[in-house]
Amino acid sequence: MITKKMLLYFPQCATESPIVYHLVKDYDLMINIFRARVTPDEEGFLLLDVSGSEENILKGSDYLRSLKIQINETVKGVSWDRDKCVQCGSCVPHCPTEALTMPDRTIMELKFNSNECVECLSCIKVCPFGALSSIF
Ligand code: SF4
Ligand code: SF4
């Protein structure tokens, strides 16, 4: 069994589809939803972990694409703008997964490991400079 984190983008025509139901029932996948959002234009974003056999994840991905849902396995909902960041470190203690760290306090350099981010959005609320943002 493998687990993949996926950011799904739904065009307006696909937001009504019961995709999680079909991924579980038809492809024997386990789904852990981190974040979901529908914009005022009724486009949708869904960030989830998908667990199952590689073959079933591929089949499930094909099913999603057949609905014109775009799958992004690399881009995360949270992004860090290095240019806006002043390396104050305020966000670090609020990150529950150590996606944000400052390994060397003598040089005060923030590191963002997006693979560890679970989209809790805590950091966004505490950054005084708007360096962290999210599509959610
Ligand atoms: S959203 Fe949460 S998990 Fe991700 S970097 Fe910010 S505080 Fe850490
Ligand atoms: S709180 Fe904002 S400005 Fe401070 S280190 Fe974190 S991202 Fe950078």
Cβ of residue 97 lying under 6 Å from some atom of ligand 1: yes
Give the model confidence (pLDDT) of 80-95 as tens digits: 999 999 999 999 999 9
- Concatenated DSSP letters of 65-87: HHTT-EEESS--SEEE-TTT---
Closest ligand to the CA of 47 = 1
User: What three-state secondary structure class fits 121?
Assistant: coil
Q: Are residues 67 and 91 in the same domain?
A: no
Give the model confidence (pLDDT) of 33-92 as tens digits: 988 887 777 788 888 899 999 999 999 999 999 999 999 887 667 999 999 999 999 999
Task: Confirm whether pTM is higher than 0.75.
Answer: no
How many domains, in total, are found in the chain? Answer: 2
What is the domain range of residue 56?
2-72
Q: Are residues 100 and 124 in the same domain?
A: yes
